[in-house]
Structure 1
């Protein structure tokens, strides 16, 4: 098994493909929540919080690679946690990061369903989600290095989405929905709803559960820090353009969830309708390119657990094609569970709030710093040690309040 992993790393993704995959993960569904995050936080705190999340997650993405290199044989988030806290922690860590990825994948399915339902309102949204499952599940069977081509599609659709929204803003000359005559916005937040912004803004940086896979798949891991910096540079430009444009166009009337695109724009008069239909198709296509990459770490973890069992190993080796059959069935089952959740819990905004507040802060900020302190604490200088402690404390506070507010009834926020 070890030889197989090294071989996959050797023939893995090149620098450009790694950037595509990383950008595709980061420029994800969180982009649609950013204008609402700014609506809840106001300009000053919104931009400050955005900069904080950007800086922290860029740093922890590099910390992840450092922790994975602590010893031989660390390939996943669970491996890293086991090295830091012992093998008893592996199961809990695997469950935690798997829940985050399942929540992300669920949000992707909801996003596809909601977007297509805007175009095909007479079609059952459940049927549309099932169709999304039929389209996206086969992609989970493709090797990660080939997913970079789909990642490029996702990146192009995200950039096109931002471009079209800005064009819409300049086409329309009067509010709402105009960048020429923009809506009223707030410098400071409504303090009662501020915690809702924590998760919505942090959700845009929820890619760390996948970064170990990207890192281990790189042909030249030494280029990983440079790859992370380029990824974050591209992400920052795209995110800020949409966040600022969306908030200016709809201001304090910014609706929740994906409706920034599918309702704020589609229900506002004065736009060129074909262009807006194109926007909705972009929103629908974007998750398709991310779905397989999001579920890849879960599938990898499950398959490694199968192979680590002597009984399963014996069964798999006793017949031709059994290993492939198990892989296919396992990945179909995981995808089916995700779609089942998406059908039964269709509230995109709540999922994004929890995803950002609890999972993103925990997995993308808190946990990497804790592992860093545990594995390298004795070798860190005082400045870096205090930096990690500070990140943990601040993110714990933001995560706690953001998670609580994400579960409050809508009329309370």
Structure 2
């Protein structure tokens, strides 16, 4: 996840001990939520999206309430991708207006939303390669550089506990962002060639992500300490010619990777709207009809335009991730799946499953509320 770029900053806010506890708690609860969410999706036939699950669990009102959170999460996550594209491109082209760079990105993002999901799923491997390569480049920089900041051999001062407890809640959202994205899981599951392998794929994906996140977060914090910037790529610099080339290459990857993720992130919103069109004004119209294709193109263009516009008006990546993580990722990727599971399978759950889900809901609710309030205060 793009939120991994802010993990060193999160550790700077939280310190090693609290940061580690929150990080592994987020890993456990989101991995668990990813599995039970698909159990809820398979509860009955005709359930295709996250809001559909909400309707089965809590009725029409529940569907609309969840739909608000669901829409906000997918849209704000997409906004964070556009912000990341702009920030990364500005590192590469410092004399170019960031607004202009985001407008250029819009021209590429809109067509990407029209590509079939199965092809986007393959292209999203670039995101994994980017995270791996970024981690490798961070390690290379850390072992080659001897001067602070930016060295693993001559590390910056780090803290076991928060140096400023007022900033601790800002880390709550940042530490879970790498494990979010559950709103897209139903559509990914339904587009899998072998859906029965979903739990295995989830567990392997989370395991690989965890290794990358630990290396990225730990090394980034050790190298830059309290000088860590909102995105670790903004800290990367070196006087070595070879390292400069490597650093520029990885920043290019970070800039390009969101282009492959954007359509995946926004697809649930597009899919939901198009299902509504087909049950309303476009009822009975073939998916391949020119009229429906035009409506589909117009709808996806307008949504993408709105997202890029908001990314221009609110350009701070760290503030966006703090708010998104606390307000939306905890709810969509942890709290709601546990609530769905309790409601839909209440008669078949063991006592410890009840306690586990209630514990996850309570802790995540507290972290979500505090993190959201602090993201507005600071």
Preserved contact between residue 38 and residue 243 of structure 1 (Cα < 8 Å): yes
- 1:335-374 counterparts in 2 under 5 A? 335-374=304-343
- Aligned counterpart, 2:277: 306
Matched, 1:175 2:145: no
Residue in 1 aligned with 2:166? 192
Contact 2:287 2:293 survives alignment (8 Å): no
Contact 1:41–1:197 (Cα < 8 Å) also in 2: yes
| Equivalent in the alignment of 1:217 | 191
Deviation (angstroms), 1:277? 1.5
- Give 1:189 deviation, angstroms: 1.6
| Distance in 2 separating the partners of 1:151 and 1:185 | 34
1:103-123 deviation digits (Å, cap 9, x = unpaired): 111010011111111111221
Query: Pairwise mapping of residues 113-262 of structure 1 onto structure 2 (< 5 A)?
Result: 113-190=86-163, 191-255=165-229, 257-258=230-231, 260-262=232-234
Q: Which sections of structure 1, spanning at least 5 residues, go unmatched? A: 1-27
Deviation at 1:88, TM superposition (A): 2.7
Once the two structures are TM-superposed, the CA of residue 91 in structure 1 deviates from its matched residue by 2.3
1:61 aligned to 11, 16, 34, which one? Answer: 34
Say which is worse superposed, 218-227 or 357-366, in terms of deviation.
Answer: 218-227
Specify the alignment match of 1:21 in structure 2.
Answer: none
Within-5 A mapping of 1:90-105: 90-105=63-78
Deviation of residue 328 (structure 1)? 1.3
Counterpart of 2:354 in structure 1 is: 385
Q: What is the aligned partner in structure 1 of residue 259 from structure 2?
A: 288
Q: Which position in structure 1 is the counterpart of 2:248?
A: 277
C-alpha distance in 2, partners of 1:79/1:231? 25
- Shift in alpha-carbon separation, 1:180–1:325, aligned structure 2, 3 A: same
Spell out the pairing of 1:2-21 with structure 2 (5 A cutoff).
Answer: none
Query: How many Å separate the matches in 1 of 2:318 and 2:202?
Result: 28
**1:387-413: CA deviation from partner (whole Å, max 9, x where unpaired):** 00000000001111111111113xxxx
Aligned length: 376
Query: 1:158, 1:286 within 8 Å by CA — same for their partners in 2?
Result: no
**Equivalent-residue separation in structure 2 for 1:101 and 1:153 (angstroms):** 20
**Consecutive unaligned residues in structure 2, runs of 5 or more:** none
CA contact (8 A) 1:157 1:285 kept: no
In structure 2, C-alpha distance between the alignment counterparts of 1:170 and 1:388, rounded to whole Å:
43
Aligned-residue RMSD, C-alpha:
1.6
Q: CA deviation at 1:366?
A: 0.4
Distance 1:138 1:301 in 2: 19
Judged with a 3 Å threshold, the aligned counterparts in structure 2 of structure 1 residues 140 and 319 are, in CA distance, closer, same or farther, namely closer
- Using the TM superposition, name which of 323-332 and 240-249 deviates more: 323-332
Match of residue 108 from structure 1: 81
Q: Deviations over 1:350-403 (max 9, x none)?
A: 110011111000000000011111111121100000000000000001111111
* 2:298 alignment partner, SS class: helix
**Is 1:405 aligned to residue 378 of structure 2?**
no
Identify the residue that residue 327 of structure 1 maps to in structure 2. 296
The Cα of 1:140 is off from its aligned counterpart by: 0.8
> 1:68 & 1:381 partners in 2: Cα distance?
20
398-407 or 117-126: bigger deviation? 117-126
CA distance in 1, matches of 2:82, 2:356: 37
CA distance in 2, matches of 1:204, 1:175: 27
Change over 3 Å in CA distance of 1:270–1:407 after alignment to 2: farther
Deviation, structure 1 residue 282? 1.9
Matched residue, 1:13: none
Deviation at 1:334, TM superposition (A): 1.0
Output one character per residue of 1:224-250: Cα deviation in whole Å (capped at 9) or x when no partner.
111110110111111111001100100
TM-score by length of 1: 0.88
